[in-house]
A and B are shown apart, each in its own frame.
Chain A
Amino acid sequence: EIVLTQSPGTLSLSPGDRATLSCRASQSFSSNYLAWYQHKRGQAPRLLIYGASSRATGIPDRFSGSGSGTDFTLTIRRLEPEDFAVYYCQQFASSPMFTFGQGTKLEIK
């Protein structure tokens, strides 16, 4: 089973700042199988990025994903008020155990 570790656990930033979220895997896998989600309280999770770097439909270009092997990053270029939420990475390489990271809470400073 691939374990995903996200850091930091909580990130405190201000609107307009740049956010960098990390997702580290316990073993290397193809970047084709790494996704990022945004989750706000009371709402369904929202797919942001698939294949480590491809934006999902309707996702603003201030969201970008990168990385390979065991290290993946979600970057939010200029934070908008609506971006403050919990972010999860998920792997699909060790099918069918599609594990999530534990999440990073992005909060307003």
Chain B
Amino acid sequence: QVQLVESGGGVVQPGRSLRLSCAASGFSFSTYTMHWVRQAPGKGLEWVAIVSYDETNKYYADSLKGRFTISRDNFKNTMFLQMNSLRSEDTALYYCARARRSLTKTDAFDVWGQGTMVTVSS
């Protein structure tokens, strides 16, 4: 069945780094644009980043100011989020999500993982 499973979250000190993974199964991963979305405690959903199916295009939310890097390995059906210079405001549940349509402009996220929690605290 179609599934996304995030991992790599944890507790990290401010200024340190963390790498999240999103393992995909049950669909042709290499043909879908993928996204990261986060939800801070008590807050709403916030779009974080996008990587195109072939990794040629990557974009980020303005609030991240170049600290995060999205990537993917289509041979391993896995997407990543490298998070550097972490701040307390990065504390959130991080979800990976699949664009509804393959090989074309995104119009919705139809598959989501359960999320991995990142806590930035000293």
Residues of A participating in the B interface, judged by any CB pair closer than 8 Å:
1, 32-33, 35, 37, 39, 43-47, 50-51, 56-57, 86, 88, 90, 92, 95-103
Determine the distance from Cα of A101 to Cα of B57 in the docked complex, in whole angstroms: 25
Determine the distance from Cα of A70 to Cα of B97 in the docked complex, in whole angstroms: 25
Determine the distance from Cα of A99 to Cα of B113 in the docked complex, in whole angstroms: 19
A95, B114: Cβ atoms closer than 8 Å: no
Q: Which residues of B contact A103 (CB under 8 A)?
A: 44-45
Q: How many A-B residue pairs have CB under 8 A?
A: 69
Encoded as 1 (CB less than 8 Å from any A CB) or 0, chain B from 40 to 51 comes to: 000011110010
Query: How distant is A108 from chain B, measured CB to nearest CB, in Å?
Result: 20
Q: Which residues of B contact A98 (CB under 8 A)?
A: 35, 47, 50, 106
A96, B107: Cβ atoms closer than 8 Å: no
- CB of B27 closer than 8 Å to a CB of A: no
Residues of B participating in the A interface, judged by any CB pair closer than 8 Å:
35, 37, 44-47, 50, 57, 59, 61-62, 95, 97, 100, 105-110, 112-115
Q: Is the interface of A mostly helix, strand, loop or mixed?
A: loop
Determine the distance from Cα of A47 to Cα of B46 in the docked complex, in whole angstroms: 15
The listed residue (A39, A56, A99, A101) touching B108 by CB distance below 8 A is: A56
Determine the distance from Cα of A39 to Cα of B105 in the docked complex, in whole angstroms: 24
Determine the distance from Cα of A88 to Cα of B45 in the docked complex, in whole angstroms: 8
Given contacts A33-B107, A45-B112, A92-B108, 8 further A-B contacts (CB under 8 A): A35-B108, A37-B109, A45-B97, A51-B107, A56-B108, A88-B45, A98-B35, A101-B44
B46, A100: Cβ atoms closer than 8 Å: yes
Closest chain B residue to A36, Cβ basis: B108
Q: Which residues of A contact B112 (CB under 8 A)?
A: 44-46
B106, A47: Cβ atoms closer than 8 Å: no
Q: Among the interface residues B45, B47, B95, B108, which one has the most CB atoms of the partner chain A within 10 A?
A: B108
A44, B114: Cβ atoms closer than 8 Å: yes
Query: How distant is A89 from chain B, measured CB to nearest CB, in Å?
Result: 10
B47, A56: Cβ atoms closer than 8 Å: no
Q: Which residues of A contact B113 (CB under 8 A)?
A: 44
**A92-B107, A95-B106 are known contacts. Are A47 and B100 too (CB-CB below 8 A)?**
yes
Q: Which residues of A contact B110 (CB under 8 A)?
A: 47, 50, 56-57
